């Protein structure tokens, strides 16, 4: 096995041509076999095997810096830097992360997980390198999907301001052809001209000479205008060069030697360079080639068929999908927005039934929110379906463009709370804190699948900014008998109790049931209240709890600024003298691992909560 010879960074440079030819197949087989047992991002990694190998052949690790956008396609990079043995515990608690992590290896240059960040980080590295007088290389890999994010264009705009002598290699990994290919003889010949050292030197000498002539600036301007007019007529991909970034490509992203040659050429050029590489998502594994979206982030699966090994009951995303399809039927003013997550966020059925009322804006959450504001002002009822950890990228737009104008925009916040294996960049544990701080915002969380349905209907009929947060995974089917009407700011008492009241938000209601059962075994009569609203809080109901020895708040959100602190503030203001125990995520970034294990580690599982209550009561 050639893979057995890869034990540390740069080992790939010692392989023979024959070994290099065999290595891509071995890496693909390794990824398929391991991810079939652990789950993970398969299609994207199968598509970047040769690209990663080419980069490792031209870069020197850890001296040089390689930055992956999002980072879900960096598995081959991990293998080539000596981490293959750790894949057995990929995305498991204490094991290998599914994303680049500087704490995991000094060959990982930037902690990533969200999109469109790589170019900005790479430019920062380049400036720091130049200011320090160092000579390491900097390369960033960004996908065509990530290039839909506004941050990427801000970086491209800034790249044109780099010193002409500051090289920055930017690789556009195009696996969906969302950017037009440069094809034909004109493109090939101009690429040779642009990268030919004699041509570049001659061009600079001519411009230098003209600058010293009378009217030289006007002559240079006319030459450039003429050149740019010809390019814009004949070449569709001159955006980058118009920004002052040299463009090379397209290059076959599965031809290692072609990429090595192009990357070396790009690294020898003064200034920023973008290399357009064409790859195929899922390459080498037929199920992933046919269904790249399904294998973007896959659970464990059967290698022979590609089918998942374990079936799951309907999740909250499925409930949302069903309700939105029905709401689309009933209300023609309802429109849906996604930021490149139609399938993941549950909008596929709405898109298929109401294509004119469905909008995929790309990986551009900021734009999605302000776009929704415009739709609301135009008389529509926009529903923005988004993962919690991605919504935080649009904080300013929610505050300034929606809440300030008190617009009827619905935020359907999926993956709210702990999400597990994707780790710290994807845990949805901050939205309660930042959304409840915004004037005019209403924030709800359902206890079960029926309440999610009722809350969505309530939100459509509402008037003003409103958010519904719901967790990843199977929808809870308990407490069906408790289905009181949704009334703005009103909680739902499920069990009265006498000494302890568990005031739980959303997904934590189920855990509250388990805790109450355990407390009763200890002779403690505890009640449960389903808060329903994180904002506005049911202050009238809280006033009825003054005689309880303890009020326990429960939420899947960080402690600071969260539901529990706000409940405690209200209770203290009302003169409550008992104890308020706040069950929440500590103020820390939560690493990857199964949700069950993470709850236990955070002392938020039912057994830990029961113990914390007993300790606080002195039992």
Residues with catalytic annotation?
A: 281, 365, 393
Looking at beta carbons, which pairs linking 593-596 to residues 24 or more positions away fall under 8 Å?
593/92, 593/93, 593/94, 593/420, 593/421, 593/423, 594/92, 594/93, 594/420, 594/421, 595/418, 595/419, 595/420, 595/472, 595/473
* Residue 129 near residue 159, CB atoms below 8 Å: no
Distance CA 463, CA 112 (A): 37
CA 600 distance to own-chain centroid: 25
Distance CA 209, CA 216 (A): 8
* Residue 126 near residue 233, CB atoms below 8 Å: no
Distance CA 566, CA 68 (A): 39
Least Cα distance to 342 among 282, 307, 383, 305 occurs for 383
* Residue 434 near residue 394, CB atoms below 8 Å: no
- Give the Å distances, CA to CA, from 321 to 311, 316, 363: 18, 9, 20
Residue 90: CA atoms inside 13 Å, Cβ hemisphere, count?
Answer: 31
- Cβ of 123: how many Cβ atoms within 10 Å? 22
- Residue 254 neighbours by CB under 8 Å, 6+ apart: 24, 50, 279, 280, 283
**Burial tier of 102 (Cβ tally within 10 Å: 0-12, 13-18, 19+):** exposed
């Amino acid at each position: 096995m050639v893979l057995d010879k890869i034990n540390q960074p740069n080992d790939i440079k010692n392989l023979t041509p024959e070994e290099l030819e065999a290595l891509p197949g071995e890496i693909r087989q390794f990824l398929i076999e391991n991810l079939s047992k652990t789950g993970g991002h398969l299609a994207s990694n199968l598509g970047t095997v040769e690209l990663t190998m080419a980069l490792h052949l031209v870069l020197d690790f850890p001296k040089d810096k390689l930055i992956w956008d999002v980072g879900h396609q960096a598995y081959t990079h991990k293998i080539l830097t000596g981490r293959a043995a750790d894949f057995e515990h990929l995305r498991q608690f204490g094991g290998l992360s599914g994303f680049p992590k500087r704490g995991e290896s000094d060959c990982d240059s930037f902690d990533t997980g969200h999109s469109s960040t790589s170019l900005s980080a790479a430019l920062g590295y380049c400036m720091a390198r130049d200011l320090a007088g160092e000579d390491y290389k900097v390369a960033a890999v960004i996908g065509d999907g990530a290039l839909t994010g506004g941050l990427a264009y801000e970086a491209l705009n800034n790249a044109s301001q780099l010193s002409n002598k500051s090289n920055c290699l930017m690789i556009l990994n195009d696996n969906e052809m969302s950017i037009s290919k440069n094809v034909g003889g004109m493109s090939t010949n101009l690429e040779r001209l642009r990268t030919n050292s004699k041509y570049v030197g001659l061009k600079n000498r001519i411009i230098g000479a003209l600058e010293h002539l009378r009217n030289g600036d006007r002559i240079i301007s006319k030459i450039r205008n003429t050149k740019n007019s010809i390019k814009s007529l004949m070449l569709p991909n001159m955006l980058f060069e118009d920004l002052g970034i040299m463009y090379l490509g397209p290059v076959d992203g599965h031809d290692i030697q072609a990429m090595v040659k192009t990357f070396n050429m790009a690294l020898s050029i003064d200034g920023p360079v973008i290399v357009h590489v064409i790859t195929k998502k899922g390459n080498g594994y037929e199920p992933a080639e046919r269904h790249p979206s399904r294998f973007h982030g896959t659970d464990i699966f059967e290698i022979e068929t590609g089918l998942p090994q374990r079936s799951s009951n309907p999740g909250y995303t499925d409930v949302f999908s069903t309700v939105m399809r029905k709401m689309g039927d009933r209300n023609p003013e309802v429109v849906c927005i996604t930021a490149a997550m139609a399938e993941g966020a549950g909008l596929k059925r709405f898109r298929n039934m109401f294509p004119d009322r469905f909008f995929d804006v790309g990986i551009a959450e900021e734009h999605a929110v302000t776009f929704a504001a415009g739709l609301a002002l135009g008389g529509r009822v926009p529903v923005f379906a988004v993962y919690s950890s991605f919504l935080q990228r649009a904080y300013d737009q929610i505050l300034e463009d929606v809440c300030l104008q008190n617009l009827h925009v619905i935020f359907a916040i999926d993956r709210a709370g702990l999400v597990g294996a994707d780790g710290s960049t994807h845990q949805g544990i901050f939205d309660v804190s930042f959304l409840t701080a915004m004037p005019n915002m209403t924030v709800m969380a359902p206890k079960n699948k029926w309440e999610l349905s009722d809350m969505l209907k309530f939100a459509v009929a509402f008037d003003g900014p409103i958010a519904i947060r719901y967790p990843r995974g199977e929808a809870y089917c308990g407490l069906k008998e408790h289905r009181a009407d949704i009334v703005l700011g009103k909680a739902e008492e499920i069990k009265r109790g006498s000494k302890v009241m568990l005031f739980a938000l959303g997904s934590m209601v189920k855990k509250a049931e388990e805790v109450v059962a355990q407390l009763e075994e200890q002779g403690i009569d505890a009640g449960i209240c389903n808060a329903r609203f994180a904002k506005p809080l049911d202050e009238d109901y809280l006033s009825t709890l003054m005689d309880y020895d303890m009020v326990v708040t429960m939420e899947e959100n960080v402690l600071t600024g969260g539901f529990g602190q706000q409940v405690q503030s209200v209770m203290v203001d009302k003169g409550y003298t008992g104890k308020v125990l706040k069950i929440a995520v500590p103020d820390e970034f939560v690493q990857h691992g199964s949700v069950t294990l993470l709850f236990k580690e955070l002392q938020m599982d039912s057994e830990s909560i029961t113990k914390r209550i007993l300790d606080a009561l002195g039992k």
